[in-house]
């Protein structure tokens, strides 16, 4: 949907509207900034979950 922002995990670029295959995207996010930081948030969340398991 136009107006939604997606983070492309292959190109590491933000897309406005879903332009790429869904398997390469994270989102949607309401703002370009949130989409741009999606991968950092996911990495931090994964690290926290791993710490909980230890």
Q: What is the reported pLDDT for 23?
A: 96
Give 10-residue mean pLDDT values along the chain (54 residues): 86 95 96 96 92 83
| pLDDT number for residue 53 | 82
Strand order in the sheet with 25-29: 14-16, 5-8, 25-29
Question: How many Cβ atoms are within 10 Å of 35's Cβ, its own excluded?
Answer: 23
What is the structure's pLDDT at 45? 92
């Amino acid at each position: 949907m136009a107006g939604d922002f997606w983070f492309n995990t292959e190109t590491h670029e933000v897309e406005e509207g879903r332009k790429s295959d869904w398997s390469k995207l994270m989102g949607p996010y309401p703002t370009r900034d949130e989409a741009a930081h999606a991968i950092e948030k996911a990495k931090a969340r994964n690290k926290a979950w791993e710490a909980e398991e230890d």
